[in-house]
Structures are given as structure tokens and as C-alpha cells.
Amino acid sequence: MNPPHIAYESGVLRLIDQTQIPRAIVVSRLTTVEEVAGAIRGMKVRGAPAIGIAGAYGMAMCAAASAAVSLSAEDFMNRMTEAARHLSAARPTAVNLSWAVNAVLALLAQRSLAGEQPAAMAAVVEAYARKIHADDIETCRRIGDAGAELLAPDGALLTHCNTGSLATGGYGTALGVIRSAWHAGKLKMVWVDETRPLLQGARLTTWELAQDSIPHTLIADAMAAHFMRRGLVSAVIVGADRIARNGDTANKIGTYGLAVLAHAHGIPFYVAAPSSTCDGATATGDDIIIEERSPDEVTSMGGVRLTPADTHAANPAFDITPAKYITAIVTEFGVLRAEFSQSIAAMRVCAAPRDGVTTR
């Protein structure tokens, strides 16, 4: 994707507004932590790794603004702590957001103990946010290559939601595997779930696949079982918002149903995610907070009401796929298999903390 969908320069975060794609390419220009949190909550930027990157740049923005008004070191730290709380609260399920802002705070705590002043700390935060962004692109490429090796040749992969460049720093997780498999000549086509209610599959994944000329067919979510039964799906691959220590995985609502369907049809079900999505503080899927969004997203589409005015609707944004339905989890450190509590724990040992900062 050219230019990048997320870029930070001189205290300004520029995002391609994902609520407008593919109708229009509109760039949002954000200059305050409140605006960054609002863009995350309103899903102008979305996808677990991408909101982590946006959160880190939000912290850089706050650090630069706070250093510019010559706050004391203590007031600077208080303001950064408040910014981290505000940003983390924007969306609760994807661990990457709280992971990124807490990593910035942990880094600042070290520097502050060493007596560093706000101006120097602001420069450190900006460099760190850029590193989180750059690392994510490299991580996605590694996930893509590891995942492509797993796949049988001539595959027809089914994917859900959007896990591509837009959802990450670039390249994508599950969509990164799809990209790598396509370039390796192992992929025939992609089934794209539309992903009700906000249509990330129909609007965003199709847009990214078309840009790369990867053959794909859009289906309504309810059609997946039909195509599996006819033998037309060789594997399912999805991203993740949070992976518990036992491998239970939170991802876009509808993922759990796909996993059960894949199991019933003997089709491999793969999760592709960076190690930062594995949350050492969460034991099982039961401990993951599921974001509830406005019922209007279900009762309306494109601002047009679909239902009678008094229809009640539920709108959990994510569901939990039990680890027993997951064939493998693809990370930048390689492919993890059951028993996931062991393979995830071993992987977390390999995942060296960035710059000596560990937050989980």
C-alpha cells in the first residue's frame, strides 16, 4: 500500500480513515490524544497491531506536547500515565493497544529513574513508537513466510475480517500469509467473508486483495458452511486480537463459528498473529473482555435503518475460539501447535523484550 495508511510527523498522526474505504480515500489528521483515542474507538484505524501502533504514536504526540510546555518531570509522567489510560480504554479486547502504551510507560519509568528530562524522554518515545511500527512490518513478513510454508499447494483459503496492511503496520498477519502464499505460487484463490456488521471483509480485504491482483470471491458470512461442505475450502486463516495462555483466541465476531465449521469438515483452522498478541496475563478465553459496540451498527447500514425502529440488537465485536479448534498459531517465531499452553510459553521465552522493557 502506497502511501502508508499510518504516518507520524512533527506531532501529527495521519491515518487513512478506514470507515470510508473503498468509497473514498480520506486522510484524518490527528493532533491530540483525545483525537487518537476517538479514531481508534470510531474505527478510523482498526485491527489489533494497527491500533497498537496508533496508540504508541498517540503517546509520542502527548510526550512532545508535554515537553513543549516545560512540565516538571513528575507532571510529565502523570500526563503520560493519563494518556496511556485514555488510549487503552478506547478498545478493550485487542491486547496490542494496551501492550504498546504500557511498553512506552515502562520505558519512560526507566528513563525517569535515570533522571532524564521531558524533552529527552519525548524524543525517546517518538523513536520507540517508530520502532514498534517498523518491527510490526518485519514481524508480519515473518508470519507470512512461516504461514505460507504450512499450506498445501493450490489452496483455496477462507478468511474473515481484515488482517492486511490496513490492520497492521503493513503487509498483514493472516493476509500476510495469503500474500506470501500467493507469491510462492501456492494459492489458487481466497474466499472473503463479508464480516457483518461493519463489513471489514467486503470493504477492506477485497480492496487489498484487488490491489495485489490476488483472485478472490466475496461471500456472505452465512455461506461458509455451504462452500466447506462442497470441498471448496482447503483451510481457514484468521488473525487475532488476544490469545490467552492456553491458546483460546479472541478475534472478530464470527470466527468461532468458522472454527467449529472447519472442525466439522476436517479443514485446518489457522490463526496468524504477532507474539505481542499472546497475553501472558490472560489464562483462558473466559478472562478476555469482549467489546460491546453500538446496536446501531447492526440495525443500520451506511446510515440507513434496516429494521423497525424499536428492534433491539446485540453487537459483541469479538468472540472466543477455544484452543481445541485451532490447528496451529503462526507467529514471527514460527508455527505453534497444541499443547498451546506449552508452545505459547516456550515462544514467549524467545520473544525477547524490546529494549529491555517488558510489560507483561
Cell 452465512 belongs to which residue? 222
Stretch that binds ligand MRU, among 238-246, 260-268, 298-306, 346-354 (CB under 6 A): 238-246
**Cross-strand bridge partners of residue 117:** none
Total chain residues near ligand MRU (CB under 6 A): 18
Examine residue 46 and tell whether it contacts ligand MRU (CB under 6 A). Answer: yes
Q: Which of 11, 47, 169, 170 binds ligand MRU (CB under 6 A)?
A: 47
Q: Which of 200, 282, 331, 343 binds ligand MRU (CB under 6 A)?
A: 200
Q: Which of 88, 251, 275, 321 binds ligand MRU (CB under 6 A)?
A: 251
Query: What's the min distance (Å) between Cβ of 43 and ligand MRU?
Result: 6
Stretch that binds ligand MRU, among 55-63, 125-133, 161-169, 179-187 (CB under 6 A): 161-169
Q: Is 261 within 8 Å of 238 (Cβ atoms)?
A: no
Cα separation, 14 vs 30, whole angstroms: 6
Query: What's the min distance (Å) between Cβ of 193 and ligand MRU?
Result: 11
Cell 470471491 belongs to which residue? 217
Going by the DSSP 8-state scheme, the letter that residue 295 receives in this structure is: T
- DSSP letter for each residue of 99-139: HHHHHHHHHHHHHHHTT--HHHHHHHHHHHHHHHHHHHHHH
Residue 251 or 321: the one with the smaller Cβ distance to ligand MRU is 251
Residue 240 or 323: the one with the smaller Cβ distance to ligand MRU is 240
Examine residue 49 and tell whether it contacts ligand MRU (CB under 6 A). Answer: yes
Cα separation, 56 vs 354, whole angstroms: 14
Query: What's the min distance (Å) between Cβ of 318 and ligand MRU?
Result: 6
Cα separation, 293 vs 291, whole angstroms: 6
Examine residue 161 and tell whether it contacts ligand MRU (CB under 6 A). Answer: yes
Cell 483525537 belongs to which residue? 35
Query: What's the min distance (Å) between Cβ of 354 and ligand MRU?
Result: 19
Residue 66 or 173: the one with the smaller Cβ distance to ligand MRU is 173
Alpha carbon 161 to its chain's center: 10
CB within 8 Å of 353: residues ≥ 6 apart? none
Residue 200 or 234: the one with the smaller Cβ distance to ligand MRU is 200
Query: What's the min distance (Å) between Cβ of 250 and ligand MRU?
Result: 8
Query: What's the min distance (Å) between Cβ of 91 and ligand MRU?
Result: 7
* Phi, psi angles (nearest 5°) of residue 19: -75, -15
Examine residue 239 and tell whether it contacts ligand MRU (CB under 6 A). Answer: yes
Cα separation, 84 vs 63, whole angstroms: 11
Residue 79 or 91: the one with the smaller Cβ distance to ligand MRU is 91
Residues tagged active-site:
241
Q: Which of 88, 102, 168, 282 binds ligand MRU (CB under 6 A)?
A: 168
Going by the DSSP 8-state scheme, the letter that residue 152 receives in this structure is: P
Cα separation, 223 vs 90, whole angstroms: 32
212, with CB counted inside 10 A (0-12, 13-18, 19+), is middle
Cα separation, 275 vs 45, whole angstroms: 21
Nearest partner of 107 among 359, 348, 360, judged by Cα:
359
Answer positive or negative: Cα dihedral of 307, 309, 313, 317: positive
Examine residue 173 and tell whether it contacts ligand MRU (CB under 6 A). Answer: yes
Stretch that binds ligand MRU, among 44-52, 124-132, 261-269, 333-341 (CB under 6 A): 44-52
Residue 125 or 278: the one with the smaller Cβ distance to ligand MRU is 278
Q: Which of 104, 167, 199, 262 binds ligand MRU (CB under 6 A)?
A: 167
Residue 127 or 134: the one with the smaller Cβ distance to ligand MRU is 134
Contact positions vs ligand MRU (CB under 6 A): 46-49, 94, 161, 163, 167-168, 173, 200, 238-241, 251-252, 317
